[in-house]
Structure 1
Amino acid sequence: MPARPAHPALATTRGLQVGLDVLVGGLVLFSVGQVLVSGGSRGGVLTVVLLAAALLALYAVGRARVRVVDRPVGAPRGAWWPGGAWMLALGLLWLALAAAAPSALWLAFPLMLLQMHVLGPHRGVVAVVLTAGAAVAAWAWWSGTLVVGAVLGPLLGGAVAVGVVLGLEALVREAQERQRMLAELRATRADLAHAERDRAVAGERERLAREIHDTLAQGYSAIELLLRAARAQVGGDDDGARDGIDRARDVARENLAEARRFVRDLAPTDLAGAGETALAAALRRVAGRTADRGDVAVTVTVTGAPRAVGTPVETALLRVAQSALANVTQHAGAQAAAVTLSYLDDAVALDVVDDGVGFDPASLAPTSGPGRGAGRGAGSGTEDDAPGGYGLVAMRSRAAELGGTLSVESAPGRGTALAVQLPVPAAAPPRTGASAELAGEEA
């Protein structure tokens, strides 16, 4: 886009500039024509022609050197050089021409307009008053008498010149202020857009961090445990080693499917398929994998009438269940865990309870930054003792994003209970079935 002028002038002021040039030139030629038509002496006509030519030349030179109307309204004006000198020289030549040709007195009005523009609202008014007084005096000298019209004409002309110029400059000032405000508005919009992009990037990073923690990180942790067990059985129990390796491969395939889903930004592969019981089926698959990877018996119970609650709610509940069951397997030392999915009137709740070693909930307070905490069981974050543990923080963040709540109850030796409840609108958006294609591909 072309660069905008720093101080744009209104089109009317530029039109006034051209009109002023035409008016000055026309009135000078009119004065010369009046002398020629009146049949004055050769010397008088020559004097008028020379004075008119000098005035037009001086006007043209000044117009080339001094900006008249195409200037910032607030710019300093009225300096002696070059604007003040130009106005003084033009005034003296005009008086000389008026002395030789009375019709040149008509030049007083465009000269007043020019003085206001060049000298500004303060010195310009003084110059207009002096010009009006000179016009009255010149008329009285030529006619030998002084009438009311000869006095009111220049005075009214001066008043009109002052009013017109001040009014136009007020319009220009308003236009410049509007331009400044528009520039500030554009800058503010650009800043807001940049901030919104940063917020979106931060939100997406947080979302991906939760997804990776609840899926890929948990799966890779399980792979590591299975391969460690398989390595210990190599040379002793070949069937057990092969079984551990096969289970590790299954987990690797599951995590590969999750990684591909991230790229396509589809719903979790466990939620593939349609129907109001898809979430319950997904929870049973997760529970089955958890039982296969460890010695924990996991049961899934559904209460209430299953209904569509929308992909965001289903995804959040599934991820919370995955993270909680991963904690049960890796940290709780539990023998059994129970997952309960409850459909309420205006909400859906998920409870994960284990009979593990439990922990003190007070130890969940962050100690060195987001995601740090201690504890074992369904309610604690995965890898809590490792730097950057993220599990409970991710689960709370998921619940908060959807306007829900998450609570953890536990005590040493008494197991852990995690409960999350998410509100569901009366008409939840339909689940997307786009993940079915991915599920088929992975199969």
Structure 2
Amino acid sequence: MLYVIIAAVTALALLDPDRLHGEPLILLGLVLGLLGWHLWFLSLHPQWPEQRLGPMAVYFAGLLGLSALLSTMHPAFLLLTAGAYPMAFVALPGRWAYVGVLLTGATLTGLLGGLPPEAATIGQTAGTSLVAGGIGWAIRRLESEAELRRQATEDLAGALVDLRTAAEEQDRLRTRMLDRERESAVTAERARMAGELHDTLAQGLAGITTQLEIAEELLGEEHPARRRIGSALGLARSSLVEARRSVNGLRPGPLAQAPLVEAVQAVLDEWQVRTGGAARLRITGEHEPADPAVERALLRATQESLANIERHAAATEVTVTLSYLGDLVAVDVVDDGVGFALDDLGSPSESGGHGLQAMRDRVEAVQGSLAVESRPGEGTMINATIPLRPGSATNGAGA
């Protein structure tokens, strides 16, 4: 705004040479100096006004002095001197603005009334200064109220954000608590079912197997019923193995007492004690907590793989690698056993072969995938890869 006033009064002065005191070039030089003064202190340093008393006091003194000097060269510049009233509130901080108003009024009094000034002139400039000070006070009061409202609005917005964050955190905690309660209920139900199967089906099959073994021993080699009893005994033994596998699969197992890594290590240690083979566990990637159903599926895949190695592979060394891959977690079980041809891998039957299919079903139930790689004489690698947190519907199915 001050640039417009300077340009207007300069044009008026140059167009009115009769009232111009001094050379036009000197006037233009003072105007350019005033423009540079204003440009440096205000336009190029916008952080100084109303904040830095020292620079702004120098600016205001220079503005008032140059304006008064120009006013002595042409009366049009009295308008520029009067413009120091609002500039006092623009530049000077706090109550120093009112000092600027008084200095502006005193300067105008001297320019208009001479020395000593007339009483009428003093009264006019005093009234003008009073009005300018009142307007400046009102504007600053409004600005202060606006700043308070803005700060209150920001505080309210911050409080709303905090409340929203707290509500989201509460929802997460509630969801986690419900998941744990559901997991506890599922674990308890699985344990109950395992106990029922063990006490009824598995115990019954064990009794049938014992009776068939006794009957087989009592019959002679050539007895016509011996072959039938042998077939029934084989079927009972196979069914007992599957029943015990189901019982073991339903029980909480190592994950009920330890995290996944420790549970897998415990399973490996048990396998090493039973078989005498070498076993090691490798962890890659940055550990991320997984859904309980995912950890259960990975542990069961590891247990089933080790059981198959123990029964069929004749392996002397096993390596289990647990890998955290961002949103995925994978387990790889590699052995140095006899291996097999994938084309010879048949479907499950009454005589066995359910382990791999059960492992695949369990992994796929939590949106995972199972891969098997093997060649005769080159060992076997089983990989199970599962999302850390599959969908809720899938979780329920996997549980």
TM-score normalized by the length of structure 1: 0.44
**TM-score, with length taken from structure 2:** 0.48
Higher relative contact order (CA 8 A, sep 6+): 1
